[in-house]
Amino acid sequence: MTDEAIECRLESRAGTVDEDQALVCAARNDTEAAGRLYDKHYGAIRNYIYHCTLDRTATDDLTSNVFLAAFRHLRRYQWRQIPFRAWLYRIATNEVRMYYRRQKKTATVNFQTEVDAGQERIDRLEATEPCAGDSLAATEEYHLLHEALLQLKLKYRTVIILRYFEDKAIAEISGITRRRQGTVKSQLHRGLAQLQDILIRRGVLPSW
């Protein structure tokens, strides 16, 4: 887990206190406040991790790890202009990074084999996939897009998912990944170029 957990301080903004900021401070001694924080952010963090892994079991485990780590270090949380959800995304990004590092180190998962297991991945896609009313072609393209994402290096996949699946601004991605905004933009550019090449090879996009 990252060392980002810090001491909590309330800061007044025009007489009001951010809801998360108040909940974070209360959650240090109040399980109900901790539960509200969990309920409020669980869905977003789980969706993000699922987009990163496309693996339901890994997603459940990593999401649990994120909140366990966050609540374990909550007493040392300090509000440094970093929204609580952004902090959770930062922890989640680190958990995903360690997950793939473990996979690589133990050699229990061959990445290309995972990519080629298309039907298995389709069966595991969840709430974020197209609704029942969407066309078969659109659903297939959605699946192919996710398969293509798995072929990218993690640093490129992370910024693409944060930008286009999680709708994060460049500045937010910079804070989550702890990379300069220029670096984030460069990684987005390179990642999208590689993603386009993969989709062209798979026939999802035309080769112009």
Which of 1, 11, 129 minimizes the C-alpha distance to 65? 1
Which runs of E-coded beta strand occur in the chain? Answer: none
Using a 10 angstrom Cβ sphere, with 0-12 exposed, 13-18 middle and 19 or more buried, the burial of residue 70 is buried
Q: For tokens 């590689």, what's the residue?
A: 194
Around Cβ 76, how many Cβ atoms within 10 Å? 13
Do residues 198 and 151 lie in contact, with contact meaning Cβ atoms separated by under 8 Å? yes
All domains of the chain in start order, with CATH: 1-108 (1.10.1740.10), 110-208 (1.10.10.10)
Tens of pLDDT along the chain (208 residues) come to 444 443 444 443 433 347 878 888 878 877 888 899 999 999 999 999 998 888 899 999 999 999 999 988 887 766 666 788 888 999 999 999 999 888 876 644 444 444 444 444 444 444 445 444 455 555 566 677 888 888 899 999 999 999 999 999 999 999 999 999 999 999 999 999 999 998 888 777 787 6
| DSSP reduced 3-state for 3 | coil
* Distance between CA atoms of residues 90 and 66, nearest Å: 9
Cα 59 from Cα 45, distance rounded (Å): 10
